[in-house]
Structure formats: structure tokens, C-alpha cells
Amino acid sequence: MSRLLVFVTLAYVTGIAAGAYLPLKPSLYLVAAMPVWLGWNLWKKHRGPLTLVPCFILFLAAGSLAFNLSLDRVHGRLQEYHHRRCTLVGMVADEPLLRDGSVVFPLALQRLQAGGREEAVSSTVRVTLYQDGGKKVVPVYGQEISVRGLLVVPEGKRNPGGFDYRSYLETRGLSAAFYAEARHLSVLGYGQNLSVVRRLALETKEKMAAVLQGQLPPAAGGLMVAMLFGERQALTAAVEEGIRRSGVAHLMAVSGLHVGLLAAILFLLFKRLGLKGWPACLLLVSLLFAYTYLTGLKPATLRAFIMLALGAVSLYLGRRKDLPTAVAAAALFTLCYNPLLLFHPGLQLSYAATISILLFAEPLQRLLLQGFARLSPPSFSPSLQEYGAGLLAVTTAAQLGTLPLSAFYFKEISLIALPANLLLLPVMGLLLGLGLFVAALGLVLPLFASLLGLAAYPLLMYMLWLTETLGAWPFSLRQVFPPRPWEMAVYYLSLLFIAWIARKGGSLPSLWALVREQLHRIRLFHLLAAILLILLPLSWWGRPVFSPLPLEVVFLDVGQGDAIFIRTPGGKHILLDSGGGPVYQDDLERAGRLVVLPYLQYRRVKKLDLVIVSHPHEDHYGGLLAVLAQVPVDLFVTNGQEVEGGSYQKLLALSAEKGIPRKILQEGDRLLLEPYLEMTVLNPPARLFMGTGSDLNNNSLVLQLRYREVSFLFTGDLEDAGARQMLARGLVPSSNILKVPHHGGDMAAFAAFLDRVEPSVAVITVGNNPFGHPHARILSLLEERGIQTFRHDRHGAVMVRTDGYGWKIKTMLSPEPAQAFLLRQPAFARGVCS
């Protein structure tokens, strides 16, 4: 290994990535043994392959330990206050972010009071302060405040393909979310723990931003501030949309372009002033750090800073700088500072782009120049050719590196990113230089600054015009299904392979020679190992590759509400209810937008063959408004109950507008969906219930889905009256897996109902609710009968797979609220038909 730092960093990064799966104690011992090992090596002057392996293992262990420790440190002891109202006392740890109707800021806790008990705590939480009309309450960075509200420690991902709020907070060093109303906040004064430097940096930045925004029209000024300081919230919504659609959003993240430009300006300035040697080097590095600090120490900025600082030191030392080592040093430093940043999309995108540029920019440029040479007369300005080829090569390389990641995180890719970047990058240097100059000058000489600010105006207008025009093209942005992890792995491995070929020579004949040379090196042992590696996973799946697909029934966790996704053995997609209110009264579609649609994208569902709404209650159909708007549907089934006005009518109107045929089902209807797959309707009766406790609930569609010998019973929000009538008429079939009616609400006839169904597994679709669901009696009845019970509030989404004879159940969350990092591991269950 010629680049030791790269090697060590790879080991450390692997350790962090695998941190959740590596045992903690051995890691601890290994890291404790590290100084001994280092000392021994130094003493013996040991070198060679044998020391590389322990070196890798040690840094792997260090990574895993760093991951687990920082996770522990982030979480502190807040877990026990999950979902409790408490009063927090602490310091506002950063500038608040202004949103519509709310203010968001991190709060570094000092004390926590709940239930008459007070405890000293030391984690940081993310506070969302809702503005209740009247005067807007915006706390200031560094203020000590006391605030009363609800503390939520989010679990990991609750749904496949869903948003992992827990790790989102973790990577930002936050342990929990806290929701409060502005009137419950009181300011206690300025905290003592306030970092003077940070305060100064923020104030300077604010002043600079004010200078820029004061001299330019709002859209242009916002753009300038966003580019200089990486503050996307300074953009107006329309501008941001255009920038996102044209794929130049990376310009709003302070990274190599920005810091590099500043470094170049300072370098030239120092040269002019005759400043050199270590004072120049030190000054340059500290000024670059000041800028990095000013923009909030974001991962991409930190990476650029470390790489440039190493470059400056290499100039001073007269040593050759090595870019791969510089990237590794940046990664190692950043991840020692906070290991959880590895899971930060910003960091991943930044490093993917950088590494890809390192690997591909040069060979691509060579290729392009060759192409140019064929196309144009050789006399055509060679320096311009070089510049163009370089620009195109760097942009293409960066796109290559970040494509799957942005598809994964944003579920969209910009198809015009390449031309947009080519048109914008050339003016970026001038624009950033001018902006920085104006901002700095404006602090001292406002008049000059305003003149210079006018000079930047045409460039800003050009940028605004370009992003707006390009972004307006309908084909500029394409929604994509997020790639799966293994697909990304294959993509990146092939990129690395191509890079390797490009390094080794490039042309096809030489490639073939290379492959032959490598083939000669292969020994029987390698072949055997490869075959084993391919066979092992196959044997783990434990089934032949070409057997029919299993039936999948997924109870998505939409909180209090139903959303059940069915994938038939024939590959058809059915959605039974789609979540919604009443928890999110204000935003009916929320569950559809945040849970169901992401899940459908994750499953790459292009079309739903059948959508069923069990009954017209918001927590069952609300999310469908979002789903219908985006996904084509073949057939829409309801229970025939009509409700006056409101959102349900909106839903029916939407389905009519989309031209989706609607069908009303009732007791006695049977749908033979596929061979061996049958859906039977058991409720409502032909004459709908009238005058029961809740007609809407009792008229729920009750469906039995049977695949060969395994059957599911979906009961909607059936209540006592409905259940009694079904029992009386002998319409309750025995089923293996029961969706407990009405989110586990009380039902007098439930014992009799259960005795008829005789389920092995029960699923309660319950979330946080004011109705006392699930009812204690229901739970004890299930427990008495030894029925395995899953509930959304404990398990997250519940996924059932069956081949028609037995079933396997997987949940997203493990029910034991054990140590923090164990929460990530899901629970498994298996069952067979008796």
C-alpha cells in the first residue's frame, strides 16, 4: 500500500459503516491495544503485509467504536422521556431557521423537567416552535431559554423506503425532536457557554449578508448570499425551484469551487504583497478556515478546506501534494470530528463528486481533446480547447459520481445538469470573487461596495435567467425510482473498474491483454472462493431462483390509520386504504406523501391495479389524494357509503377526473384475482347499517384474502354492531392473519370474533391517538390466546410474505427499547399453516 493514509481512512470508514453490526467489546479491546501495537511496530521497525492486516482491523475497530460512542453521546438519556411533555432549559445552539408558521433551532440542553422531577442532561435536541399568531417569537443564537412542549425520540425508519428521521437527527448531532408553542417559551438571558468566536462569525456573516441584500434586488441578493454562504433559505421559492430543476444546486453548497477561489485570490494577493514562507502559509490557512467557520463547518466545506490547506502546506514545504491522500485526510478528520456525518447526504455527495473528478477528469479531458482534434482544425485556439475540455470533463465526472446518490436521496435527476453547469461554471469564479469582495468591503466602505455590487448584478441576472429558463423546460427534471443499495454498489464498482482501465492504458486491445495477464494470475483457490461467494447467498434465500413470487402483504405504518399494500404472486399491486388524518388533521395527504408514495417508489410501482377504500374516514382514504395524483390506477373500489361534501367528495372527483373506473363491493362479492388468490367480501351487507354507534365504521369493507392455504382477514374499522351481525350470519371465516378491527378499539364481541377467526397473527394498525387505542381488553384477549401481535406504534411497518403454505413476518423496528444502536435491527417471525 503506497498511500497509507488512504488505506487507514478506508478501514476507519468501513468501521463506521459497519458500526451497527460489529460487536462493541472486541472493538474496545482492540482500540485499547492500538498504542501497544503502534509502539511495538515502531520499536521493531516492522513493515510489511503482516502489519497491514492488523492495521486495517485496528482502524476498523476504531471506526466502529467511534460510531457507537458518538451515537451514545448524541442520545444521552432522553429515551425515557419519549412522548412526554416536559420543560427544557438550555442554550440556543445555532441560528434559528425560519419556516412558514414555525421556527426551528437546535437547543443544547442543560436541564429537563418532567413530572415534577428535574434532571441535568447534556444532549442537543431540535426544537420546532410553532407560532400561534400574534407576535413572532424568534430566539437568538446564544440565548438561554426555557420551553415547554412534547419530546419525541424518533425511532429508525418506520417504513421501507421511508424517511429515517432518527438518523437524520443523529447525523446532525441531535438526539430528539421537540415540539412547542411559542407562548410556552421564556428567555432567561444570554448563556455562559456561548462561544465568542462563533458569535462573532455569525454576526460578521449577517452583516455581510445584509450588505449584499441591501445593494441588490431581493432575488439576486438572495442568490448571492445563498452562493457565498451556502444558505439555501436565502433563496426565494421560485429561484430555488429553477436551480433544483436545472441541476446546479451544488453551487449553493460551499465547497471546493468556493474555497478554492478564495485560496487563489489570497495566494495572488500575497504574492503581490511579497508575503511568503510560513507566515504566508499560516495566514492563508487561517483565512480559509475563517471562511469555512463562517459558513457553518459543513462537511463539503470542511473537505475543501482541508484539501486546500494541505495544498498550501505542500507548497510551503516544497513537497509534492497527493490528492488521494488529501481526500483521505479530509475524510478522516471530518469523521473523527463526527463519525455520524458519514450518513449525511451532503458529505456523501461531496466526496463522491471529488473522488470521481480525481479518477475521471483527466482521462476524460484527454479523450475530449482527441475528439476535438478530429473535429476542428488544429489551429483553433488550443488553450480554449483545453479549457472547454477541462470544464466538460470535470462536470461530467462530478455528475457520474453523484448520479445514483442524488437519485437515491432526491428521487429525481436533472437531465440538463450538464449544459446548465457548463453555462454557469465559467461565471461562478467572477461572481463569487465579486460577491466576497463586495461583502468584505461593505463592512468598511459601503459606497464602494454598492458600486461593485452593481457590477455583479448582470451576472446574477444571467444566472437567474438561465436557471429559470432551463428549469422551465418540462423534460429538465425526471422523477426516478430510488436505486437499491446493491445497484449503487454495482454502479460504483464498475466506475472504479473503468477508472482502473483508464489508468492502465485505455484502449480495448490493451484491456484484453490486461485481462489475460490478470487471468494468468488466477489460481484454483480464487475460483473456488468466487463460486462459494456466489452460491452462499443463493442457499441463504433457500429457494430456487425461478419459483413464483411470494404473496406480500405490507401493513405500512401511517401512525393511527390503515395503509396496506399487497403484491400478488402474479406481480399485481393492490393498495387497501392509504392512511391520513386524524392525527394530521391539518394535512390530510401527509401519510400518502410521506409514507405510501415513497414506499411505492421504493417498490418501483408504476401502476396500481386495484385501490380499495374500506370506508370513508380520513385515516383510511386521506393519503389517497396524494397517491391518485401521482400514480395511475386501474380500478377503484369503495363500500358504497356516500358522505356529503368534504374531502371524500374531492377524492371521488379526483378519481373521476383521472378516469378511474369505480366499483362498489358488498357482502357476497368475490374477486378471483389470480389462480389460487381470491378475495371475498364479507361486509357491508347489501343494506348498509343505519343507526349503529358509527355507521361509517360498521359499513367498512371486510375482506378475506386467501392464497392457497394462507388467509388474511382485513376488517377496516368494523365495530361491535357490525361484528355481531357478521357472527350471527356466520360470515366470520377462520383466517391465519387478522388485521384487528378499528385500530384495536374496544369491541364487546371481540372474544367471540377471535374464537371464530382463530388467527395465529394479529396486526394492530395503531399510532399515537387520543382514543385509548389499542384497548387493554383487546390486547389481553389476544395475549390469552397466545396470538402473536404486531402493532405499528411498537414495530413500525409489518411485512408478511407467504408462499401460500407458510409465512414469514418482518418488522421495521424491534419492539425492545434496548440500547440505542440495537433499535436499528428488525425483528423476525415465521409461521406455517397448521
Partner 1 sequence: MSLLQAILDLFFPPACPFCGKILATGAGAAASPGGTGEKLPSALPGFGEGGILCAGCAAGLPWLENCCPRCARPLPEAEKVQECRRCRAAPPAFDHCCALGSYTGALREALHRFKYNGARGLAVPLGRLLAARLSAMPWLGEVEALVPVPLHPRRQRERGYNQAALLAVAAGRELGIPVRAMLRRNRETKSQTGLDRQGRLENMQGAFCCDAQPGGGDSGGDKGTGLKRLLLVDDILTSGATAHAACLALRQAGWSSVSLAVVAR
Coil, strand or helix at 113: strand
Exposed e or buried b per residue across 761-781, where buried means at least 16 C-beta atoms within 10 angstroms of its C-beta:
bbbbbbbebeeebbbeebbeb
* Residue from 14, 24, 51, 635 binding partner 1 (CB under 8 A): 51
Exposed e or buried b per residue across 564-582, where buried means at least 16 C-beta atoms within 10 angstroms of its C-beta:
bbbbbbeebbbbbbbbbbb
For partner 1, which is the closer residue by CB, 55 or 300?
55
Q: How far is CA 419 from the centre of its chain?
A: 28
Say if residues 547 and 553 touch (Cβ distance below 8 Å).
no
Single out the segment in contact with partner 1 by CB under 8 A; choices: 50-58, 405-413, 500-508, 711-719: 50-58
Write out the DSSP string of 692-717: STTHHHHT--EEEEEETTEEEEE-TT
Smallest distance, Å, CB 3 to partner 1? 5
Single out the segment in contact with partner 1 by CB under 8 A; choices: 51-59, 125-133, 338-346, 644-652: 51-59
Say if residues 330 and 336 touch (Cβ distance below 8 Å).
no
362 binds partner 1 (CB under 8 A): no
* Residue from 11, 55, 89, 389 binding partner 1 (CB under 8 A): 55
For partner 1, which is the closer residue by CB, 327 or 575?
327
Single out the segment in contact with partner 1 by CB under 8 A; choices: 46-54, 245-253, 693-701, 712-720: 46-54
Size of the site for partner 1 (CB under 8 A): 27
For partner 1, which is the closer residue by CB, 3 or 607?
3
Interaction mask 320-339, partner 1, x per CB under 8 A: xxx--xx--x----------
* Residue from 23, 35, 44, 47 binding partner 1 (CB under 8 A): 47
Smallest distance, Å, CB 511 to partner 1? 21
Smallest distance, Å, CB 8 to partner 1? 9
CA 91, CA 106: separation in Å to the nearest integer? Answer: 9
Number of helical H runs and strand E runs in the chain: 28, 25
52 binds partner 1 (CB under 8 A): yes
* Residue from 23, 25, 44, 49 binding partner 1 (CB under 8 A): 49
Cβ-Cβ contacts under 8 Å for 235 (sequence gap 6 or more): 222, 223, 226, 243, 252
Single out the segment in contact with partner 1 by CB under 8 A; choices: 41-49, 191-199, 358-366, 707-715: 41-49
Backbone conformation region of residue 116, classed left if phi is above 0, alpha if psi is from -120 to 50, else beta: left
Alpha helices per DSSP H over 477-586: 485-504, 508-521, 524-541
Smallest distance, Å, CB 53 to partner 1? 10
450 binds partner 1 (CB under 8 A): no
Interaction mask 304-323, partner 1, x per CB under 8 A: ------x--xxx-xxxxxx-
CA 439, CA 449: separation in Å to the nearest integer? Answer: 7
Smallest distance, Å, CB 493 to partner 1? 23
Binding residues for partner 1 restricted to 166-225, rule: CB under 8 A? none
Interaction mask 261-280, partner 1, x per CB under 8 A: ---------------xx---
Identity at 483, one-letter amino acid code: P
Smallest distance, Å, CB 351 to partner 1? 18
Smallest distance, Å, CB 51 to partner 1? 5
Smallest distance, Å, CB 319 to partner 1? 4
Backbone conformation region of residue 668, classed left if phi is above 0, alpha if psi is from -120 to 50, else beta: left
For partner 1, which is the closer residue by CB, 332 or 813?
332
503 binds partner 1 (CB under 8 A): no
2 binds partner 1 (CB under 8 A): yes
For residue 438, give Cα distances in angstroms to 209, 218, 234, 443.
Answer: 10, 16, 18, 9
CA 325, CA 8: separation in Å to the nearest integer? Answer: 10
Closest CA to 305 of 287, 320, 317: 287
CA 342, CA 335: separation in Å to the nearest integer? Answer: 7
Say if residues 816 and 827 touch (Cβ distance below 8 Å).
no
Say if residues 764 and 791 touch (Cβ distance below 8 Å).
yes
Smallest distance, Å, CB 55 to partner 1? 6
Smallest distance, Å, CB 59 to partner 1? 12
For partner 1, which is the closer residue by CB, 9 or 811?
9
Smallest distance, Å, CB 15 to partner 1? 18
For partner 1, which is the closer residue by CB, 313 or 688?
313
Residues paired with 90 in a beta bridge = 109, 145
3 binds partner 1 (CB under 8 A): yes
Closest CA to 710 of 740, 671, 673, 676: 676
Smallest distance, Å, CB 309 to partner 1? 10
Cβ-Cβ contacts under 8 Å for 186 (sequence gap 6 or more): 145, 146, 147
461 binds partner 1 (CB under 8 A): no
**Residue ranges that bind partner 1, judged by CB under 8 A:** 1-5, 7, 47-49, 51-52, 55, 276-277, 310, 313-315, 317-322, 325-326, 329
